[in-house]
A and B are shown apart, each in its own frame.
Chain A
Amino acid sequence: MSQVETGSNGTPKVGVYVCHCGINISQKVEISETVEFAKKLPYVTVVREYKFMCSDPGQELIQQDIREGLVDRVVVASCSPLMHEHTFRGAMAAGGGNPFLFQMANIREHVSWVTVDKKAATKKAKALIAAAVERIALHQPLERVQVPVHPDVLVVGGGIAGIHAALTLADSGKKVYLVEREPTIGGHMAKLDKTFPTLDCSACILTPKMSAVGAHPNITLWTYSEVTKVDGYVGNFKVTVKRKPRYVDEEKCVGCLECIEACIFKEGKFRSEFDEGLSKRKPVYIPFPQATPLVAVIDPETCIEFKTGKCKKSCAEVCAPEAIDFEQTEKIKEIEVGAIVLATGFKTFDAARVSRYGYGKYPNVYTSLEVERLVNAAGPTGGEVLLDNGKKPKTVGIVHCVGSRDENTNPYCSRVCCMYSLKLAHLLQERTGAEIYDFYIDMRTPGKGYEEFYERVSQEKVHFIRGRVGEITDWAMEPEEVGKLVMRAEDTLMGAVRRVPVDMVVLAVGLEPQDDAEEVRRIFNIGCSHDGWFLERHPKLAPVSTFTDGVFLAGACQGPKDIPDSVAQAGAAASEAMAIIDRGYVELEPNTAFIIEDLCSGCKTCVAICPFSATSFDEEKKVVVVNGALCKGCGTCVAACPSGALQQNLFTDEQIFHEIKGVVSYV
């Protein structure tokens, strides 16, 4: 091992601070033994223990020791650096030290929380402290670089969360790009009839916000578009957006519907995505009357012209502004933004996966989203709820937790189903006069006015049965069951198995991550929790941030959420984005790569592989140059360099070797 470089200060003076973390650490790690051990390590001048190092008095210990000249380098043995590295680096700086002469030994997440045996825990804690001490002696003072922030913001997803985030940002004067995959914004909320618990008409409260988006001078709305690539970093993202051809010029189309009238298909023939397949649309269509933008779209999968090239194209003939353009092609847009809000939403659970409920087999078994369309006055039936025989249902069964709270499908609670089931129970009864049987496991109504709504619905013609439905069949055992759907469930309050014959069944399907959540996650370089929802930085204290700085989450892409929560989160994400933009600059961590020119052979291996294009070749000196402002400190070039000429601040070979030495040499 090489000689320790001491710098101008002479021999390093290392302070070791061991945290109890209440009893989180001290109940597994023998603190006094660890402290005695640390005192004997090289360069250590001060060792202290404290109940909470992250508290103000804890930080003050460090600051005082620096001010008094007792220490110039600090090791804190406590929790994960993800949690408090920032805190302690701040304490270093406040005490007058360099924040990068600091190292954390994680003896909580890596030791006390995951070790049963006290002796083993203490031993491992000692090894990690020794490693940190060995490494800190080699640290160099480093400075953060400030980089200006691009003032624009990207919002991905045009459901209620994306709409609210975009409007909040735009109203504050930021220029916003709102990218939506579908031909219109509005998302799931546009499909709903009423909203719980107030029974506001969903469209009435949503569509004003949709048109505000369309008309806002600060919002660039790109529907029928998808983000395909994100480069760069917080403050300076470079985003590639694919604009799919809709074969109708958005600038020219006035939304007059003439083309749809003129289409050679006299009636709609293809599944309407907006009506959940309960109505048919034509190849040229506008999803719903309040679509934003109010621009037609041609679906090439079903359009005769695209399939045969032999359509007489009456749509184009009747279009006065000549908006129809069969030659339109995909367009790639590249934009620069300082922050990103992801609001990509959810999909509903596929009810056919729970085969015993007969969805897809029995025509009168519906999903809740389908029933939202059925009860909607603007829906496929004009708000009439009719069975396949054309009659109104006299009895309706509602099944909660379809695809939720079930280890065979999703273990989590989807949070919205109890409330929307109550709402549908109310609406179905209002529209049809039917008697409702509502099968629930637990009625979950935590929210402002939610329990009161439950109370109100329970006064109506709704029977609540506490039990998970086992199966739905057309198997009649009693005369009154003939021709009905028979729901079998254990009524856990009555302690008996019941058979309830009904005319219609509503399956309260849960919420799931979008099919392409994994791909989106990769594009934006964020994490997913084990069930596929996008992962927040901290579940309590950073609920809209992600582990990628500058990328924020809003709405159900982070987990099942109702409208009030989605909107609240969207507002939070927008203000977090604003905080970055308004500060005007970001500080880059100095853990960047640097080149030892004498060792560089000029092979350019690193130039080709750098994902941030931070390495380039100096033709004059015949060596590689690293641009510190572009380098993100990923270490790819350092690992690839065959001659060891590329090194990384805070991760030099020497530092890592000493860290290993620390782990293996003392305990």
Chain B
Amino acid sequence: MKYLYYPGCSARSTGKPYEESMLSVAEVLEIPIEELEDWNCCGATTYMAINELKAFALCARNFALAERQVEAEEEINLVAPCAACYLGLNKAQHYLGEFPEIRAKICEGLHAAGLESTGRVRVRHPLDVLVNDIGLEKIASAVTKPLEGFRVACYYGCQIIRPYAEFDDQHRPTTMDRLMESLGAEVIDWPIKTRCCGGSLTGTVQECGLRLSAMLLNEAKNRGCNVIATACPLCQFNLECYQSQMKRQFGYEFKMPVAFFTQLIGVAFGIPKRKLGLQRLFLPLPDVSKVAVCPLPSPSETKASVGGSNVPS
């Protein structure tokens, strides 16, 4: 099986530690993965909202490049760690497959650039690849420092399983939960793991965006979580970077570290911190040697979340 890596723009900026940790983990697991040459922007959510056809064209160019890079007639797994890239590329591939008229237009454009996309590319998320291709058994066998004392809330966000439930249940996914358990972490039951973090609303209608993030953090904290694992650069950014502002706005202090799930795998594999980009996190991972081991609060014991009427449901 052939894996090509599609970084997308965030893995080279705010999401740098995602890339660093993913590639380090791939190295330990001996997953052959090379970067897609000359890749371009996926169109992100913004382009998709303004002109779908052009957004599909941007994605399709990446598919065509992948097909050029891997000549053999085999299925290509294009691994996109960023949730928005993953969704955008996936959507484009679905539309190209389902709507011949869109496919015809896009192919015409690609042809003008001397490119061709036959639909040989399958868009994959690293979470899917790690758990379903590599397997939890192999991952567990590479663990050298089990994540004891880590109480992880697995945050899937809204994009990697909706609307395309390619590898897990759309509403109650478990892939990351099982992965974290295989690393020795304790996974908390967190029923809101697919709720929106606010997305780009934190930058546009901040009042609204921050509330959404705050609800997630508060419920995670109430349930005894000491680190949130994410699979999306924007989720990671929203949940981690605005915590002081949430304190000013809602009066809640979370101090909740938010890491990429690949960083936590790296920690369990004993990969050096800098190779995982841990130094780039604003809030350090919990020092588990200092965590008092006490039973998790049961939901009936937990307090009600962020001041009810203050936060929309």
A residues near B, CB below 8 A? 354-356, 358, 361, 471, 473-479, 481-483, 488, 497, 499
Chain B residues with CB under 8 A of A475: 191-192, 219, 305
| Cβ-defined contact, B313 with A476, below 8 A | no
In the assembled complex, the Cα of A359 lies from the Cα of B289 at a distance in Å of 37
Additional A-B contacts beyond A475-B192, A477-B304, A479-B304 (8; CB < 8 A): A355-B171, A358-B191, A474-B299, A476-B299, A476-B302, A479-B308, A482-B299, A499-B313
Residue B169 at the chain A interface, CB threshold 8 Å: yes
**Nearest B residue (CB) for A389:** B300
Pair B171/A481 contact, Cβ less than 8 Å: no
Residues 276-313 of chain B: 1 if any A CB is under 8 Å from the residue's CB, otherwise 0? Answer: 00000000000000000000000110111110100111
A sample of 7 cross-chain residue pairs with beta-carbon separation below 8 angstroms, ordered by A number, consists of: A356-B171, A477-B306, A477-B313, A479-B304, A479-B308, A482-B303, A483-B299
Q: Are B172 and A474 in contact (CB under 8 A)?
A: no
Contact in complex: A483, B191 (CB < 8 Å) = no
Residues of A near B300 (CB, < 8 A) are 482-483
Whole-angstrom distance from the CB of B14 to the nearest CB of chain A? 29
Which residue on A lies nearest to B215, using beta carbons? A477
Residue of B172, B302, B305 with most partner-chain A CB within 10 A: B172
Residues of A close to B308: CB separation below 8 A: 477-479
Q: In the complex, which residues of chain B have a beta carbon less than 8 angstroms from the beta carbon of A499?
A: 313
CB distance from B154 to the nearest CB of A (A): 15
Nearest B-chain residue to A497, judged by Cβ? B313
Interface of B with A (CB < 8 Å)?
A: 169-172, 191-192, 215, 219, 299-300, 302-306, 308, 311-313
A residues less than 8 Å from B172 (CB atoms)? 355-356, 358, 361
Chain A residues, CB < 8 A from B305: 475-477
Inside 8 A of B299's CB, which chain A residues have their CB?
Answer: 474, 476, 482-483
Which of B306, B312, B313 has its CB near the most chain A CB atoms (within 10 A)? B313
Q: List A contacts of B170 (CB < 8 A).
A: 355
B-chain residues with CB within 8 Å of residue A354 when the two chains form the complex: 171
- Chain B nearest Cβ from A502, distance in angstroms: 14
Are A482 and B302 within 8 A (Cβ)? yes
Inter-chain contacts of B312 with A (CB < 8 A):
497
- Which residues from B are CB-within-8-Å of A478? 304, 308
Check B171–A471 contact: CB distance below 8 A: yes
Q: How far is the CA of A479 from the CA of B300 in the complex (A)?
A: 11
Distance from A469 Cβ to chain B, minimum over Cβ atoms (Å): 12
Candidate in A356, A475, A497 with the most chain B CB atoms within 10 angstroms? A475
Chain B residue, CB-CB nearest to A474: B299
Q: What is the bound-complex CA distance between A358 and B305, given in angstroms?
A: 20
Q: Which of A356, A358, A477, A481 contacts B311 (CB 8 A)?
A: A477
9 residue pairs, one from A and one from B, having the closest CB atoms:
A356-B171, A473-B191, A483-B300, A355-B172, A478-B308, A474-B299, A477-B305, A479-B304, A355-B171
Residue ID in chain B nearest A484 by CB atoms: B300
In the complex, which of the residues B169, B215, B304, B306 contacts A481, with contact meaning CB atoms closer than 8 Å? B304
The CA of A476 and the CA of B172, in the complex, are separated in Å by 18
Q: Which B residue's beta carbon lies closest to that of A354?
A: B171
A358 partner residues in chain B, CB cutoff 8 A? 172, 191
- Closest B residue, CB atoms, query A475: B191
Task: Specify which of A473, A479, A481, A497 is in contact with B192 (CB 8 Å cutoff).
Answer: A473
- Contact between A474 and B304, CB atoms less than 8 A apart: no
Bound CA–CA A474/B303 (angstroms): 12
Output the least CB separation between A254 and chain B (Å).
50
Cβ contacts under 8 Å, B302 to chain A:
476, 482
